[in-house]
């Protein structure tokens, strides 16, 4: 059996580790981990370790924020019809929910004030604004606000459109809305389109997007739901609504931040850290039901649970049916109704998992039979649901560590998604073959495209001809934070590492390494035989309990009589029958 190739690399960033550790009240290991995550200043590290919600940035620093909030307050005051246009993924659903709840609360506040005034002056005042939403259908409408949604809004007598998690690139569509006499507010977090003269903003009445030129907001990497949440803060402040009510929406900004794979750095990390804590006491019936249906402990949710359990359920509606299922669940107040929606989302996600596994197996088989020598993998799965192309492309990239495109059969053309490796700029790769593409977009690590089915082979041929990649580029690099002997591990270190959570994109779980451990014995556990328990001994004679989540039988086959192992691990505490023992959760290993 061929052993997997990977390069183990030790991070070598420099700093005054012991000095910083003393001043910050942590161990040098924690300082080294923070330094490896790109933190250089003591103040940044202090905020990372001890930051609170008071350290969040003032939303008014965001360009266009004041203008957008003023406009919305005025429209709600005038009792206008306001429609929120969201997007079909988790960030779009959470942003729509935040704006909808926020606008409804603001309208209620204004209505109560009107009633008071009406009572005072014995005049009847009616200003209840109508607030509703629309979310595009992934297959029928595609991403973001489109012409049919705008024309429908006009026919429905909508006065003001507010986008969330989309809109920044909808120049033509927003021009149509303006021609039809509507007011438009764009809230988004995506890159602003550019031409040779610079950024081109849509002709909206207000634009809030931290990626604008001249942006004064200190952190530009927040998701669409965080932008929406910040807007509601300004709205509430203007109307004197207590800050605690704004904080009631925090968990939705946190769920979207993880689900939309934002970097868990700076403000994002604080939003997620405190948002996760808040979920335990959430007032949202739908969210509670979804957590319950997935057998999770609401008091102890991690970013992992959001990223790999809750998030995929919220996304499954938009992938296979409609994103409105997830939104209706979050809006449901009746526990029975919310429970039914949560069941439906869980079923859709289970279906999505089965369809993904089938597509992944087909894609791997196709590569192994036909494309093993290709530098850029292009797989055509005509029967695969088009919403799964991106997930399968990601799995393909992980499996072969090569840039991967998965194409499916759309109504008129082939459609697909790509996921890349650090050494290959995917968007630039597509620019070189743009004459073959009907439509495309993306960034260095991911892209979406459509092309004629007849052009797929030529697309594959030209991408490979243009790709300047070498065999070394296809060897995954595993970055080790500290080569730390297990002798150094104690409960204090384990707790300190827990304090560095939440882990995820941009704040990866720390990895440690130790060489030359002797394997005393190995047991394979679990009904799927996917847990390997090892008793190991270090060179100094210290016993170590090792735990590996992998194909147990494959591990035994690979071991084949060898009894020395190097490991990359994360230290943890195993609690069993009241006894606490330290253990190494093994992430990667090499036999020798």
Most confident of the ranges 4-8, 154-158, 502-506 = 154-158
373-474 is a CATH 3.10.310.30 domain: yes
| For range 20-38, the mean pLDDT | 96
530-536 average pLDDT score:
96
Q: What is the pLDDT of residue 1?
A: 44
* Contact between residue 210 and residue 219 where contact means Cβ atoms under 8 Å apart: yes
Q: What is the pLDDT of residue 124?
A: 42
Cross-strand pairs, 543:
537
Tell me the CA distances in angstroms from 189 to 164, 207, 209, 251, 442, one per residue in order. 9, 11, 5, 18, 14
- Residue ranges of E strands in 362-466: 377-380, 404-409, 414-419, 437-443, 446-451
User: In the predicted model, is pLDDT for residue 48 greater than 50?
Assistant: yes
Peptide bond into 502 cis (omega under 30): yes
Contact at 8 Å (CB) between 255 and 275?
Answer: yes
506 and 264 Cβ atoms separated by less than 8 Å: yes
Residues 6 or more apart whose Cβ sits within 8 Å of residue 499:
30, 49
Residue 149's pLDDT band, with cuts at 50, 70 and 90, is very high
Least confident of 5-9, 115-119, 266-270: 115-119
pLDDT at res. 119: 55
Query: Using CA atoms, how far apart are residues 279 and 260, in angstroms rounded to an integer?
Result: 18
DSSP letter (8 states) at residue 3:
P
The alpha carbons of the chain give a radius of gyration, in whole angstroms, of 26
Give the 3-state secondary structure of residue 544: strand
Q: What is the mean pLDDT of residues 422-429?
A: 92
Largest CA distance in the chain: 92
456 SS3 class: helix
Q: For residue 241, what are the CA distances in angstroms to 110, 191, 269, 557?
A: 10, 32, 26, 64
Q: Which helix (H) or strand (E) holds 68?
A: helix 65-77
384-416 confidence digits (pLDDT tens) = 999 999 999 999 999 999 999 999 998 889 999
Instruction: Decide if 54-279 and 373-474 have a common fold.
Output: no
Beta carbons within 10 angstroms of residue 448's beta carbon:
18
Q: Which of 312, 325, 320, 306 is closest to 253 using CA atoms? A: 306
Token pair for residue 111?
């209505």
Looking up tokens 């006894």, which residue turns up? 579
Give me the torsion for CA of 52, 55, 58, 61, rounded to 10°: -150
Distances (CA, A) of 444 to 251, 419, 422: 30, 9, 8
In this predicted structure, what is the pLDDT of residue 125?
Answer: 44
- In tens, the pLDDT along 180-215 reads 999 999 999 998 888 888 999 999 999 999 999 999
Q: Give 227's pLDDT tier (boundaries 50, 70, 90).
A: very high
Distance CA 204, CA 189 (A): 15
pLDDT score recorded for residue 254: 98
List the structure tokens of 556: 């035994």
CA atoms of 406 and 409, how far apart (whole Å): 10
Task: Report how far residue 390's alpha carbon sits from residue 357's, in angstroms, rounded to the nearest whole number.
Answer: 13
For the segment 302-307, the average pLDDT, to the nearest whole number, is 95
Q: Kindly provide the b/e burial profile for residues 458-480, where b requires at least 16 CB atoms within 10 angstroms of the residue's own CB.
A: ebbebbbeebeeeeebeeeeeeb
**What are the tokens at 482?**
């500290």
| CA-to-CA dists, residue 1 to 4, 183, 343, 522, angstroms | 9, 64, 42, 19
Q: Judge contact between 387 and 349, C-beta under 8 A.
A: no
Closest CA to 330 of 587, 63, 93: 93
CA distance 370 to 569: 36
Ordered by start, the domain boundaries in the chain are 54-279, 373-474, 477-591
pLDDT bucket at 118, cuts 50 / 70 / 90 = low
pLDDT of residue 408: 97
Hey, what CATH topology would domain 54-279 get?
Answer: inorganic pyrophosphatase (n-terminal core) (3.90.1640)
Which residue matches tokens 């505490």? 573
Confidence of residue 126 (pLDDT cuts 50, 70, 90): very low
Local structure of residue 504 (DSSP, 8 states): B
pTM of the model: 0.92
Third-level CATH fold of 477-591: OB fold (Dihydrolipoamide Acetyltransferase, E2P) (2.40.50)
Output the pLDDT for position 3: 55
Q: Is the pLDDT of residue 163 over 70?
A: yes
Identify the bridge partners of residue 513 per DSSP, sorted by sequence position: 568
Question: For residue 61, what are the CA distances in angstroms to 25, 214, 551?
Answer: 32, 11, 51
Alpha-carbon gap, residue 502 to 273, rounded angstroms:
6
Cα separation, 396 vs 94, whole angstroms:
29
503 burial via Cβ count (<10 Å: 0-12, 13-18, 19+) = buried
Q: Give the confidence band of 440 by pLDDT, cuts at 50, 70, 90.
A: confident
Q: What are phi and psi of 391, to 5 degrees?
A: -65, -45
60-64, 347-351, 426-430: range with lowest mean pLDDT: 426-430
Average pLDDT, the chain: 94
Structure tokens at 290: 């979804």
Q: Residue 567: what pLDDT?
A: 97
Which comes out higher in pLDDT, residue 144 or 132? 132
Secondary structure (3-state) at 78: coil
Q: pLDDT digit string (tens) for 456-492?
A: 999 999 999 999 999 999 999 999 999 999 999 999 9
Note the Cα 554 to chain centre separation in Å: 32
CB atoms within 10 A of CB 534: 23
Residue 477, φ and ψ in degrees, nearest 5: -100, 130
The CA-atom distances, in angstroms, between 36 and each of 9, 40, 456, 511, 515 are 12, 9, 41, 11, 21
């Amino acid at each position: 059996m061929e052993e997997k190739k990977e390069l183990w690399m030790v991070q070598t960033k420099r700093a005054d580790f012991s000095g910083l550790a003393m001043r910050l009240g942590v161990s040098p290991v924690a300082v080294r981990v923070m330094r490896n995550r790109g933190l250089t200043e003591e103040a940044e590290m202090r905020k990372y370790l001890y930051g609170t919600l008071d350290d969040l940035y003032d939303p008014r620093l965001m360009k266009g924020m004041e203008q957008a909030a003023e406009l919305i307050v005025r429209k709600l005051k005038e009792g206008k019809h306001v429609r929120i246009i969201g997007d079909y993924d988790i960030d779009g659903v959470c942003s729509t929910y935040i704006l909808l709840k926020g606008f409804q609360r603001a309208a209620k506040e204004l209505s109560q004030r009107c009633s008071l005034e009406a009572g005072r002056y014995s005049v009847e005042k009616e200003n209840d604004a109508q607030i509703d939403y629309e979310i595009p259908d992934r297959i029928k409408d595609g991403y973001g606000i489109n012409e049919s949604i705008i024309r429908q809004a006009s026919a429905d007598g909508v006065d003001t459109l507010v986008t969330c998690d989309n809109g920044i690139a909808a120049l033509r569509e927003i021009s149509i809305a303006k021609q039809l006499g509507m007011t438009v507010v764009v809230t988004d977090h995506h890159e602003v389109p550019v031409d040779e003269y610079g950024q081109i903003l849509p002709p909206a009445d207000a634009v809030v997007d931290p990626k604008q030129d001249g942006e004064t907001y200190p952190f530009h990497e927040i998701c669409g739901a965080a932008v929406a949440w910040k807007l509601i803060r300004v709205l509430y402040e203007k109307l004197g609504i207590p800050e605690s009510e704004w904080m009631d929406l925090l968990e939705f900004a946190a769920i979207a931040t993880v689900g939309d794979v934002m970097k868990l750095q700076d403000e994002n990390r604080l939003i997620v850290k405190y948002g996760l804590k808040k979920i335990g006491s959430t007032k949202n019936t739908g969210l509670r039901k979804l957590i319950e249906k997935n057998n999770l402990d609401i008091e102890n949710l991690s970013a992992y649970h959001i990223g790999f359990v809750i998030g995929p359920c919220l996304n499954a509606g938009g992938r296979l049916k409609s994103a409105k299922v997830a939104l209706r669940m979050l809006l449901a107040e009746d526990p029975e109704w919310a429970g039914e929606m949560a069941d439906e989302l869980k079923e859709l996600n289970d279906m999505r998992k089965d369809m993904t596994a089938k597509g992944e197996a087909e894609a791997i088989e196709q590569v192994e039979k036909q494309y093993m020598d290709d530098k850029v993998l292009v797989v055509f799965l005509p029967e695969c649901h088009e919403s799964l192309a991106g997930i399968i492309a990601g799995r393909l990239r992980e499996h072969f560590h090569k840039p991967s495109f998965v194409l499916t059969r759309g109504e008129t053309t082939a459609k697909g998604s790509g996921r890349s490796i650090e050494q290959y700029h995917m968007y630039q790769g597509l620019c070189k073959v743009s004459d073959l593409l009907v439509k495309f977009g993306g960034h260095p690590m991911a892209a979406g495209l459509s092309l004629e089915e007849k052009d797929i082979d030529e697309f594959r041929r030209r991408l490979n001809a243009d790709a300047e990649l070498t065999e070394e580029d296809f060897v995954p690099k595993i970055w080790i934070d500290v080569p730390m002997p297990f002798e150094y591990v104690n409960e204090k270190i384990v707790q300190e590492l827990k304090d560095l959570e939440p882990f995820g994109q941009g704040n990866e779980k720390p990895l440690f390494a130790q060489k030359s451990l002797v394997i005393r014995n190995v047991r394979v556990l679990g009904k799927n035989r996917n847990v390997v328990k090892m008793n190991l001994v270090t060179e100094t004679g210290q016993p170590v309990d090792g735990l590996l989540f992998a194909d147990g039988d494959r591990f035994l086959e690979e071991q084949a009589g060898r009894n020395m192992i190097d490991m990359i691990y994360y230290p943890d505490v195993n609690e069993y029958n009241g006894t606490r023992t330290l253990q190494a959760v093994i992430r990667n290993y090499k036999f020798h």
